[in-house]
Amino acid sequence: MTVAVIQFGGSNCDRDAVRALDYLGVDAERIWHEDGLPEDTTGIMLPGGFSYGDYLRAGAMAARSPIMDEVRAATDDGTPVLGVCNGAQVGSESRLTAGAFTTNKSARFQCEHVHLRVENADTPWTEAFDEGDIIEIPIAHGEGRFEITDERYEDLEQNDQILFRYCDEDGNLTEEANPNGSTHNVAGILGKTDSVAVLMPHPERSTLPDIGGTDGQGILAGFQS
Amino acid sequence: MSTYTATVTVRLKGGVLDPEAETTKGALQRLGFELSALRAADQYELDLEADSADEATERAEEMAERLLANPTIHDYEVSVAEAANAK
């Protein structure tokens, strides 16, 4: 079981991701995007960072790189894929998930701890939680505002594809608790199947007990199942 | 074959918030200018060889669909002119 953490030029959370996965006992290695996916890949993580300097739109360039064809093919076989932050932007730009992540409502880069409400606990990424649980995980992004057409949003809701929403510490979905102005406070969603997920917050930054909270462990545990 | 310049303009769909444009508008107002709205757009100029203006338009539209615009949040327009001084 090896999780390929795909490193693009400008990725910068790839090492953190490998360390966090190692801590959870999940074999993981960094894979340079030009080298392609190793044969023994059993999971794929698209890490945070600033791939291609966020040229054009965050994630736009990496989403069109050849390794993403391999990632798409792997998702067809049910290989778990998790996109975090810039990886979430790459995931949506490559149409693995619906909608788009664009400029924060504040027009600023925001680096802070946020609360998330677990909206669907029946997925590999949220099995560790119960629906309605409130977890705390950091964000660090300038383009995390989730935008989607009304029609596609209804599809997401009906198909139970919304994983997390930004909330206050009591679980209320308020505007103040929505750090970037995301549509209906959406922080993370599923792809066509629940083996594919993207989220803007950083679970790998809240996994190692030495550096603070550990709520991210439950999300990364999706690679264990 | 002729050389054409295709101009692709990509802008946010109506109703999609543009925080950078709002910030820019606020800065203009602080400078004392009066305005009620500011909309920003990205413009790309592509020089390409094609048999006809229609073909050039079609290719530029495909480029917009595949990369230059994100259809979830953007509308785009393509206009094509025979290039006078294409390099």
Which tens digit of pLDDT belongs to each residue from A124-134?
A: 999 999 999 99
What was the pLDDT predicted at A186? 98
Q: 2-61 in B: which are within 8 Å (CB) of A?
A: 16-20, 22-23
Asked whether residue B87 carries a pLDDT value surpassing 60, the answer given is no
pLDDT at A221 over 60: yes
Mean per-residue pLDDT over chain A, rounded: 97
At residue A222 the predicted structure's pLDDT band, cuts being 50, 70 and 90, is very high
What's the pLDDT tens digit per position in A14-62? 999 999 999 999 999 999 999 999 999 999 999 999 999 999 999 999 9
Query: What's the structural domain count of chain A?
Result: 1
Mean pLDDT (whole number) for A85-107: 97
User: What was the pLDDT predicted at A104?
Assistant: 98
A132: CATH: 3.40.50.880
Q: Flag if A93 and B70 touch (Cβ within 8 Å).
A: yes
Which pLDDT value is given to residue A175? 97
Q: CA of B65: which chain A residue's CA is closest?
A: A93
- Specify the pLDDT at position B86: 47
Question: How high is the pLDDT of residue B83?
Answer: 81
**pLDDT (average), residues A158-176:** 98
Tens of pLDDT, residue by residue over B2-53, are 999 999 999 999 999 999 999 999 999 999 999 999 999 999 999 999 999 9
| Percent of chain A's residues with pLDDT above 90 | 98
Calpha distance A46→A26 (Å, rounded): 16
Q: What is the pLDDT of residue A78?
A: 95
**What are the residue numbers of the active site of A?**
85, 202, 204
| Chain B contact probe: residue of A57, A105, A182 with most B CBs at under 10 A | A57
pTM of the model: 0.95
CB contact under 8 A, A181 and B23: no
Q: Does A100 contact B19 at a Cβ distance shorter than 8 Å?
A: no
3 state SS for chain A: CEEEEEECCCECCHHHHHHHHHHCCCCEEEEEHHHCCCCCEEEEEECCECHHHHCCCCCHHHHCCCHHHHHHHHHHCCCCEEEECHHHHHHHHCCCCCCEEECCCCCCCEEEEEEEEECCCCCCCCCCCCCCCEEEEEEEECCCEEECCHHHHHHHHHCCCEEEEEECCCCCCCCCCCCCCCHHHEEEEECCCCCEEEECCCHHHHCCHHHCCCCCHHHHHHHCC
Q: What domains are defined for chain B?
A: 2-82 (3.30.1280.10)
Interface test with A, best of B73, B75, B76 (most A CBs within 10 A): B73
Range of the domain at A7: 2-224
CB A47 within 8 A of CB A84: yes
Chain-centre distance for alpha carbon A159:
19
pLDDT band (50, 70, 90) for residue A1: low
Query: Measured between CB atoms, which of A64, A152, A181 is closest to B17?
Result: A181
User: What pLDDT is attached to residue A212?
Assistant: 85
pLDDT attached to residue A22: 97
